[in-house]
Structure 1
Amino acid sequence: MSRYLLQAEHVAVRFGGIKALTDVSLGIAPGEVCGLIGPNGAGKTTLFDVVSGIRRPDEGRVLLDGTDITRRSPVWRARHGMRRTFQRQQLFGQLTVADNLVVAQEWRGGGGGLAADLVASPTRRSRESARRARAAEVLRSCGLDHLAEDYAGALPVGRARMVELARALADPPRVLLLDEPASGMTAEERAQLAAVIRHLAEEEGCAVLLVEHNVAFVMELCARVVVLDLGSVLAEGTAAEVRADPKVREAYLGAAA
């Protein structure tokens, strides 16, 4: 049995005659934070779309816990513990921060995720109470409890990014896909983000795949890094191995390495 919780195997995606991904394979184990880096147009977001079920690959497959989920919908994947944030912010701006996290739990109705709470709480009011309690718990763990009643649309970019992460955690994930989560954050906010991600992986066993242009952030946080270039895997290894790879330095890192 594979040690990986999430796998992409030999994935290829074409847009007409353009090859967005060619024979891309990677895997993330429970409790691992894996970084996915590469220049603009390398195929990172396309790979996220394939893994999360938004786009079906032309070739290859996606596995969750050893089961082929290539043809499963995004909703099915979410019901089985996959969460994702997007490069473009997707918060409900006219709702409060707390309500954004409550809404993130509503889609399950009366089962799964918070099932234990919901089975023991048969009325709608008690279900709402359980969801709000979970929202408050997650906001505290992310250092956002003081923003609970603020409107999400009024938040600065860095805080909004943290709220997006908190919303993804409202219904506990097994797999978390983060697309540019540190974009627009201050150094203090990035440190807070890294602490939450580490806790999620190390203490809760979540498998995290992180796309991020802040190379220093990725290299400090991720145990393993995969580099995409022109739709293919250019290199894979520890942060030190990737930094030292001459192909990676030439194609992407350059002087930043």
Structure 2
Amino acid sequence: MSGYALETSGVGVRFGGVRALSDVRIGVRPGEVCGLIGPNGAGKTTLFDVVSGIRRPEEGRVLLDGRDVTRRSPVWRARHGLRRTFQRQQLFGQLTVEDNLLVAQEWRRGTTRERRARAVSLLRECGLEDIAGAYAGALPVGRARMVELARALADPPRVLLLDEPASGMTARERGQLAAVVRHMADEEDCAVLLVEHNVTFVMELCARVVVLDLGEVLAAGTPDEVRADPRVRDAYLGTRTSGERHGRAAGEVIAHDGDVHLTDVPDDQ
């Protein structure tokens, strides 16, 4: 056994003649918060699709607690402890915040009282008590993302995938998000894999960071190791010619105070 709650082994994906992922090998241990960063088009969301079962890889395997789940459905993976949020909001807009959390528990065994108690606990933990009765479709982006996180936690996950959870959040909301993620890792022993374009947020929250570029793992290590890696700075700062880089939007990358930061950009391929 590797000791990883989540592991990808040699994952490869093609879109026609374009290789979106190539020999991607990552692992996240129980209780670890791992960041996944990279320029736009690096393959981050594609990797999330593979891990969650939405897309089957042409090569490689996905393992949960050492068990090969590559051919398992998204529903099977969810019922065995894998949860995911999406870059584009997926809430039931015509339901209240509390009802969104209740619906997320419909498949669970237990009484209505038990499910409601869990929803109330999540509202408190995620700082959502004041909007429990508000319609989810009317929420500002930052609050809606916290509701998505709470819904992903409706049944305590073994592995949690977060796709740009801080996008659109205020500084206060990002602090709340970070506190919930740390609680899940430290107290619930959850393995968290986090994709986020706010690199400062990633570096402050994550114990380890993996960098994807052009569908391959470019670097992996502690935040300090990744910051210092010249290959990472090259990929982010764009010192290669435009023909060597695909999918980078103008103005996507800026440097500030010696660190590398990304602005919010559209979805990966």
Q: Normalized against structure 2, the TM-score is what?
A: 0.88
1:204 aligned residue: 188
Q: Offset at 1:132?
A: 1.0
1:175 aligned residue: 159
After superposition, residues 94-109 of structure 1 pair within 5 angstroms as 94-108=94-108
Matched, 1:66 2:66: yes
| Alignment deviations for residues 162-199 of structure 1 (CA, whole Å, 9 cap, x no partner) | 00000000111010000000000001100110010001
Distance 2:236 2:175 in 1: 24
Distance 2:255 2:102 in 1: 44
User: Higher helix share goes to which structure?
Assistant: 1
Structure 1 unaligned spans of 5+:
111-117, 119-126
Give the letter for the 1:178 counterpart.
Answer: L
| Alignment deviations for residues 47-90 of structure 1 (CA, whole Å, 9 cap, x no partner) | 00000000000000000111100000001001101000000000
Matched, 1:141 2:141: no
After superposition, residues 1-257 of structure 1 pair within 5 angstroms as 1-108=1-108, 110=109, 118=110, 127-252=111-236, 255-256=255-256, 257=259
Determine helix, strand or coil for the equivalent of 1:139.
helix
Distance 2:18 2:210 in 1: 22
Distance 2:211 2:51 in 1: 17
RMSD value, Cα = 0.9
Give the letter for the 1:206 counterpart.
Answer: C
Determine helix, strand or coil for the equivalent of 2:146.
helix
Q: How many residues align?
A: 241
Distance 2:118 2:50 in 1: 30
Q: Offset at 1:128?
A: 1.7
Determine helix, strand or coil for the equivalent of 2:255.
helix
1:124 aligned residue: none
Distance 2:171 2:118 in 1: 28
> Matched residues, percent identical?
79
Give the letter for the 1:233 counterpart.
Answer: V
| Alignment deviations for residues 88-146 of structure 1 (CA, whole Å, 9 cap, x no partner) | 000000000000000001134x3xxxxxxx2xxxxxxxx22211111000110111111
Q: Normalized against structure 1, the TM-score is what?
A: 0.92
Structure 1 runs (4+) greater than 4 angstroms displaced: none
2:243 aligned residue: none
Structure 2 unaligned spans of 5+:
238-253, 260-269
